[in-house]
Structure 1
Amino acid sequence: MRHSLRSNDVALFAVTLAMIAAAVFAVRIPDATGKSTWLADLNIVSFDNTTLHADAFIPVASSTTELFPVIIFPNSWGCPQLEYVTRALQLGDRGYVALEYETRGWWLSGGEIDMAGPKDIQDAQVVIDFVAAHATEWQADMTRVAMAGISYGAGITLLTAGTDARVKVAVAMSGWNNLTDFAYGEQTPNYKQTQGLLHSSEDLGHPSAEMFELERDLTNHTNVSFITTFGNSRSPQRLVDVFNARNIPVFLSSNYGDRFFRPQYMLEFFPALTCPKMLLLNNGPHAMPEAVGLFVNTSYIWNQALLWLEAHLKNISNGIDAQKPLQMELGTSIFSESRLNFTSDPSASTQPWYLARDGSLNPTAPPHNESSVLEPTIFFSTTQVLNSGTSDDTWEALGLPFVTNLSSANVTTTALFQSAPLTSATLVCGTPSVQLRLGTTSSTGFQVYAFLYEVDPLFPTDGTYLTEGFYTQWASSPSPSVTTVTFPMHTLCRVIDVGSSIVLGIVLYNEQYVPANSSPEFSVSFATGGESVLRLPSS
C-alpha cells in the first residue's frame, strides 16, 4: 500500500465535530438579530419513565397566528444530540421548530441502548407528543412533522415514519433498509463492524444484554434465527407498503464506501418505493460526507435535504421534485462536484466479463469445455495481500487511491483475472455482481471475497481499488461438491481510463468477517467455461 494514514472512529469523529459546533453556536448567542430561540436543556419523560435529553430551536414568530413545521433529529450512534446543532440552528432561523434528542442509552439519556428496537420507536413517538404538548407555546404545526437523522438516527427516522402517521416527511442519511444485511449480509457475519459498535456503546452509552448476545452469535455463527429476527424487526424494508400507501416523501443518502450499511442494499430498496423519493449515492465511508456536511454550507447532500424539507413541509416549489430521483457522485472524493442523475438503477444494464482458465478476463465467453476442468485452485490463508484499506476512512474521504501490489499476491491463495487494456474509457455506475461456479473440498462451507481493481499501464503491477464483494455458504453438498454462487459488490460510479485494464481478485479470507472454513487444507477451484462471470453496470 502507498499510504499510512489512519482515521478516527466515525463516532468519535462526529462527537468532535459536535463539540466544535457547540463552540460555534456559543459565539452566536449574543446576536440579538437571531431568528430563533435555543432551549438548551430539555428532558422528555418517555413511556416507561426513561428520561431522554434534548434541546430545541424555536423560531421567533412574526404574529400569534404564524405556525412552523417541525423537524425532529434522533442522534447518531455514539453522538450527543448536539451533533445536529448547526443545522438545527439554521432550520430554526428558517422557520422550523427543530428538536434534537439523545435516544435511550446514550450520553445523558436514561435506559439501555435498544438498537432501533420497539422502545426507540415508542420514544420517538413520545418526543412527537412532547412537541405537540408545546405546540401552542412554540406555534408548532403538528400537521407538518418531519424526522431526519444520520446513521442510527436515519434508521430510527425511517422506522418511526413508517409507524407514526404524524410523520409526513423522512430524511435518512447513511441509514439502512434491512438491518440483517448489516449484520449478516450474503450470510457473512459482519464481525469487525459489529464489534466496533459494541465497543463504542460501552464507552459512550449503556449497551443491553441483547447487544452482547448478537455479537456472540455473529462471532460464533450460532443462533442465526435470533440474528435474522433481531435484524428484520428493526428494518424499514418491512414498512415499504406503509411508505407507499401514505405517500411519504423519503429522502435517502448512502455512500459507496459504507461497510456498515452497504450502498447496494439501499439501491435495491429504492425501486420498491413508489412515494416521492430521492437517493443520493456519494463518495466516502459511512456517515462521513453527511457529518462533514453538518458544518459545511456548500454540502450538496444537506442542501438537497433542505430543499426536500422546504418542498414537502412548506409546500414551496423549488424544483427539487423535477430532478431525477437517483443521483450518483462521480470520482472518489467526498468533495467531488460531479454527479450523474438517473430515473432508475443503472445496474439493470450490464457488460459481462468472463473468467478464463488462463487468468484472463474477457467480454466473450470462453469455450464451454473449460467447465469440465476446475482450475485455477486457491487455498485458505489468513495472510492476504488483497484488501481495500478499510481502516483508513480519512484517506478514502479525500479520494486518495488505495493501491495494492498485485504481483505480491500468493498464487496459491489468490486467484487473479485480468482484462486486456480497454480501448475506450468505460463508465461503471451501479452495482457490479460476481457469479462463480466453484468446486470445494469441504462440506462445512466456505467464504469467497472478491476485489475489483483498475491497473494503469504505466504501473502494471499496481491495482487501484474500485470495489469489493463477498459471499459465505455455511454448508454445502457432501465433499467434494460443485456449486454456483452469485453476490453483489459495493455500488460505485467511476470512469475507468482508456488503456487501463480491470482485475478481479478472489481470496477465501478477510479479517473483517467470520470465515466459514479456516482449515489450511481447504481449497476452492473455478469452472471457467462461461459459468464464472463478473458483470459490470454499463449505463
Structure 2
Amino acid sequence: MIRRVKWGACLAVVLLLAPVAPATALATTDGFTTRFTTVPAADGIGLGAMVLEPRDPGPHPVAVLISAWGGGATQNVIPAKNLADRGYVVVAYGTRGFGESGGEVEVAGPPDIADVSTVIDWALANTDADPARIGVGGVSYGAGIGLIASGADARIKAVASLSGWADLAGSLSQNETRHGLAGLVLYLSGKANGTLSAETEAMLTKFLTPHISDADSAAIIEWSKPRSASAHLAAINANRPAVLTIQTWSETVFPPDQMVALYHGLTGAKRMEFLPGDHASAESGGLLGLPSETWNSVYRWFDAHVAGTDDTITREHPILTRARPGMQQPESFPDWTAAVGRPSRWELAAAELTTGRDTPANGGLPLATYSLEALSGEPPTVFLPLVSRRDAAVWQQAPRTTPMAIRGAMTARFTATPSTPTGTVVAYVYDVDQFGVGRLINYLPYSWKNAEPGRPLRMDLTFAPTAYTVPAGHRVALVADTKDPLFLDWTTEEGRLAFSAPSWLDIPTKGTQG
C-alpha cells in the first residue's frame, strides 16, 4: 500500500524542509533519465525509490541517498539531480516505514542496515552502475543509517553524514537527563508520518515516561547500542570508507561531541565540518535548491572518493569550522588539537538557589531556535536582569578588554549541596553585552538521584564543543537553574541547592586574552 507523506507536519516539526518535486520536472532533464520504482527488500517489503541515471554510456559511479526521518523517495531530489548532473547513478529511497516504503520504522535496526545493501544490489543489477565506485549519504536519520551500513557493506567507498549521530544513547540522554522535548517531537512526527514498529513504540514510550525506572533506562541503552555507529567502529575501520561528517554547533538532537569522538576513532580518510545552526539547518537550503556549501562538500567528497574525478578536497585541511555568532569566515585545521583552545579557569563564588522554579534562561525550542540563528546570525537571548537571583545562581566576569575566541568544549565542576534526594541543574553560558542582553553560547543539564540531602555532590559537566567569539566590551556569564522545558528533569519539589568551593568553569580560548 502506498502511503502519502504528511509533509506539512514533517516540515514544521522536523525542519528538514525537503520538497516533493513532480516526476515530470526531472524526467525532461537532458543529461539523465528519471524513474520511480519499488525496490524489493529481503523480507518482502517494498522500498519506494527514485532512480536517476546518466544518458551517456557507463559504468557510472553510484550515489545512494537515504531519506531522513519522515521522508520518502523524493526528499533528496535536489542533491540527487546535482549528483546525476555530475555523472552519478543516483538511487534515492525512503527508509522503511516512511513515505512510499512499506514495513515499520526500526530506528536504524538490522532491517534498515540490510536495506542499504539491498538498494546497492538493485542498482548494480538494474542500472549501468560501477560496483567499484559506490557512495552513501543522508541527512539525520539517513546519515546514521549510512554510517552503520558502511561497516556492514565493504562496497561502500564513501559516506556523507549530515546532522547524523554516532551514539544514540548519548543523544537521548546526558548526565542522567533525558532530552524529553526533542524525543517527543521525533515520536509525534514518527507517528504522524510513518508506522512505528512495536519495539520502537515501546522504547520511545518508555523514554518519555516522566520518572523512568532504572530497568527501563537500561533497556533503552541496550536497544540503542547496535543502532550507534560507535558500536560498529571496528567494522567501519575494517572496510575503510572515506567518511565526511557535517554537524552544527547547536545541534539539539545529536550533540556534536559524539562526532568528534567518532572522527578520532576513524582510521580511514575522513573530514569533519562544523557550522552555526541546529539539526539539519545547514543542509536545508541545499534540499530546497539554494546555493549550499554543505552540499558542495558532499559533492566534492564523492567526486574524490567515489567517482575519482576531482581530489582537491583531499588536499585541504580535514577539519573546517565557522564560528558563532553569525556565519564567520571558515577556519581550517590539520587536526582537532589545532582547532581547540587552551582552558582558562574561572573560579566560581559561593551561591544558592531555590529548586523547582523555572527562569527565563533556557535552551530554546528544539529544531527551531538555532535554525533561526543560522538564518539571522543571532543566537537565542535572555535579558539577564530578569533572571531571578532567588531561582538561579548567576556568575558574571568583568567586561572583556579584547575579544575572546572560545574554541572547543567548556568544562565545569560544581560542588553543590542539595536539600532533596533527586534533582536537576541546567547550566547556561552567555555572552552578555553592556545592556544586559545575554546571547546563549552553550547549555548542559546534570541530574542526581538518591543523593543524601545536606551532603555535597561533585558535579562534572563537559559541554558540547563550540566556536564562539565574545566581542570586546562584553562579559561571560554562567547561569544555573533547575528547570528547562527541553528536559525531563528530576526536580520534583522545591528545595535549596548551595554551590561552594571548589566550583569552576574552564573556557578553552585561542588568541588574545584580556
Asked if structure 2 preserves the Cα contact closer than 8 Å seen for 1:54 and 1:100, the reply is yes
Query: What is the CA–CA distance in structure 1 between the aligned matches of 2:360 and 2:162, rounded to whole Å?
Result: 33
Residue among 410, 414, 427 paired with 1:436: 414
- In structure 2, the CA distance between the partners of 1:451 and 1:91, relative to structure 1 (3 Å rule), is same
Asked if structure 2 preserves the Cα contact closer than 8 Å seen for 1:120 and 1:156, the reply is yes
Residue among 123, 127, 138 paired with 1:149: 138
Query: What is the CA–CA distance in structure 1 between the aligned matches of 2:409 and 2:130, rounded to whole Å?
Result: 41
Query: What is the CA–CA distance in structure 1 between the aligned matches of 2:74 and 2:479, rounded to whole Å?
Result: 43
How far off its partner does 1:296 sit? 4.2
Query: What is the CA–CA distance in structure 2 between the aligned matches of 1:474 and 1:73, rounded to whole Å?
Result: 43
How many pairs align? Answer: 495
For 1:123, the aligned partner's letter is D
Which deviates more, 275-284 or 316-325?
316-325
Which deviates more, 216-225 or 505-514?
216-225
1:51 and 2:46 matched: yes
How far off its partner does 1:481 sit? 1.9
Asked if structure 1 preserves the Cα contact closer than 8 Å seen for 2:11 and 2:17, the reply is no
How far off its partner does 1:318 sit? 3.0
Partner residue in 2 for 1:318 = 311
Partner residue in 2 for 1:367 = none
How far off its partner does 1:146 sit? 1.0
TM-score (norm 1): 0.87
Asked if structure 2 preserves the Cα contact closer than 8 Å seen for 1:271 and 1:344, the reply is no
Partner residue in 1 for 2:353 = 378
For 2:67, the aligned partner's letter is N
Partner residue in 2 for 1:235 = 228
Alignment of 1:95-114 (within 5 A): 95-114=87-106
1:527 and 2:500 matched: yes
Asked if structure 2 preserves the Cα contact closer than 8 Å seen for 1:103 and 1:120, the reply is yes
Percent of aligned pairs sharing the same letter: 24
How far off its partner does 1:389 sit? 2.6
How far off its partner does 1:45 sit? 1.4
Asked if structure 1 preserves the Cα contact closer than 8 Å seen for 2:383 and 2:438, the reply is yes
How far off its partner does 1:490 sit? 3.2
Query: What is the CA–CA distance in structure 2 between the aligned matches of 1:267 and 1:255, rounded to whole Å?
Result: 12
**TM-superposition CA deviations, 1:116-146 (whole Å, max 9, x none):** 1111111222112211222xxx221112111
- In structure 2, the CA distance between the partners of 1:382 and 1:105, relative to structure 1 (3 Å rule), is farther
- In structure 2, the CA distance between the partners of 1:428 and 1:233, relative to structure 1 (3 Å rule), is same
> Any idea what SS the aligned residue of 2:417 has?
strand
What is the aligned-residue RMSD (CA, Å)? 2.1
1:341 and 2:332 matched: yes
Which deviates more, 501-510 or 466-475?
466-475
For 1:184, the aligned partner's letter is S
Alignment of 1:40-189 (within 5 A): 41-62=36-57, 66-134=58-126, 138-189=127-178
Asked if structure 2 preserves the Cα contact closer than 8 Å seen for 1:433 and 1:488, the reply is yes
How far off its partner does 1:267 sit? 1.9
Query: What is the CA–CA distance in structure 2 between the aligned matches of 1:308 and 1:323, rounded to whole Å?
Result: 11
How far off its partner does 1:517 sit? 2.7
- In structure 2, the CA distance between the partners of 1:120 and 1:13, relative to structure 1 (3 Å rule), is closer
Partner residue in 1 for 2:485 = 511
1:274 and 2:267 matched: yes
How far off its partner does 1:184 sit? 1.6
1:492 and 2:487 matched: no
Partner residue in 2 for 1:422 = 400
Partner residue in 2 for 1:328 = 321
For 1:453, the aligned partner's letter is Y
> Any idea what SS the aligned residue of 2:268 has?
coil
Query: What is the CA–CA distance in structure 1 between the aligned matches of 2:183 and 2:380, rounded to whole Å?
Result: 24
Residue among 414, 419, 431 paired with 1:454: 431
> Any idea what SS the aligned residue of 2:413 has?
strand
- In structure 2, the CA distance between the partners of 1:118 and 1:17, relative to structure 1 (3 Å rule), is closer
1:221 and 2:212 matched: yes
> Any idea what SS the aligned residue of 1:82 has?
coil
Which deviates more, 190-199 or 380-389?
380-389
**TM-superposition CA deviations, 1:376-405 (whole Å, max 9, x none):** 111212431101332535422222242211
**TM-superposition CA deviations, 1:73-94 (whole Å, max 9, x none):** 1110012221111111121121
Alignment of 1:373-412 (within 5 A): 375-390=350-365, 391-398=368-375, 399-412=377-390
> Any idea what SS the aligned residue of 1:54 has?
strand
Asked if structure 1 preserves the Cα contact closer than 8 Å seen for 2:256 and 2:465, the reply is yes
Partner residue in 2 for 1:30 = 28
Partner residue in 2 for 1:301 = 294
Query: What is the CA–CA distance in structure 2 between the aligned matches of 1:332 and 1:500, rounded to whole Å?
Result: 13
Query: What is the CA–CA distance in structure 2 between the aligned matches of 1:337 and 1:253, rounded to whole Å?
Result: 17
- In structure 2, the CA distance between the partners of 1:121 and 1:349, relative to structure 1 (3 Å rule), is same
How far off its partner does 1:438 sit? 1.5
Asked if structure 2 preserves the Cα contact closer than 8 Å seen for 1:14 and 1:83, the reply is no
For 1:408, the aligned partner's letter is L
Partner residue in 1 for 2:4 = none
Asked if structure 1 preserves the Cα contact closer than 8 Å seen for 2:148 and 2:229, the reply is yes
Query: What is the CA–CA distance in structure 1 between the aligned matches of 2:459 and 2:266, rounded to whole Å?
Result: 28
For 2:161, the aligned partner's letter is A
How far off its partner does 1:436 sit? 1.3
Query: What is the CA–CA distance in structure 2 between the aligned matches of 1:451 and 1:350, rounded to whole Å?
Result: 20
Asked if structure 2 preserves the Cα contact closer than 8 Å seen for 1:15 and 1:80, the reply is no
Query: What is the CA–CA distance in structure 1 between the aligned matches of 2:81 and 2:168, rounded to whole Å?
Result: 31
Asked if structure 1 preserves the Cα contact closer than 8 Å seen for 2:417 and 2:453, the reply is no
**TM-superposition CA deviations, 1:297-317 (whole Å, max 9, x none):** 531111111111001112234
Query: What is the CA–CA distance in structure 1 between the aligned matches of 2:363 and 2:24, rounded to whole Å?
Result: 40
**TM-superposition CA deviations, 1:298-349 (whole Å, max 9, x none):** 311111111110011122343211211111112334xx36111122225764
How far off its partner does 1:264 sit? 2.0
Query: What is the CA–CA distance in structure 2 between the aligned matches of 1:383 and 1:506, rounded to whole Å?
Result: 10
How far off its partner does 1:501 sit? 0.7
Partner residue in 1 for 2:5 = none
Asked if structure 2 preserves the Cα contact closer than 8 Å seen for 1:198 and 1:211, the reply is no
Asked if structure 2 preserves the Cα contact closer than 8 Å seen for 1:12 and 1:78, the reply is no
> Any idea what SS the aligned residue of 1:469 has?
strand
Partner residue in 1 for 2:442 = 467
**TM-superposition CA deviations, 1:326-375 (whole Å, max 9, x none):** 11112334xx3611112222576433332432xxxxxxxxxxxxxxxxx4
Asked if structure 1 preserves the Cα contact closer than 8 Å seen for 2:16 and 2:284, the reply is no
**TM-superposition CA deviations, 1:138-178 (whole Å, max 9, x none):** 22111211110000000000010111111111110000010
Query: What is the CA–CA distance in structure 1 between the aligned matches of 2:281 and 2:144, rounded to whole Å?
Result: 16
For 2:360, the aligned partner's letter is V
Asked if structure 2 preserves the Cα contact closer than 8 Å seen for 1:382 and 1:510, the reply is no
> Any idea what SS the aligned residue of 1:210 has?
helix
> Any idea what SS the aligned residue of 1:106 has?
coil
Query: What is the CA–CA distance in structure 2 between the aligned matches of 1:149 and 1:286, rounded to whole Å?
Result: 13
Residue among 254, 259, 277 paired with 1:284: 277
Which deviates more, 296-305 or 229-238?
296-305
Query: What is the CA–CA distance in structure 2 between the aligned matches of 1:510 and 1:16, rounded to whole Å?
Result: 27
> Any idea what SS the aligned residue of 2:91 has?
strand
- In structure 2, the CA distance between the partners of 1:9 and 1:82, relative to structure 1 (3 Å rule), is closer
Query: What is the CA–CA distance in structure 2 between the aligned matches of 1:326 and 1:122, rounded to whole Å?
Result: 31
How far off its partner does 1:11 sit? 6.1
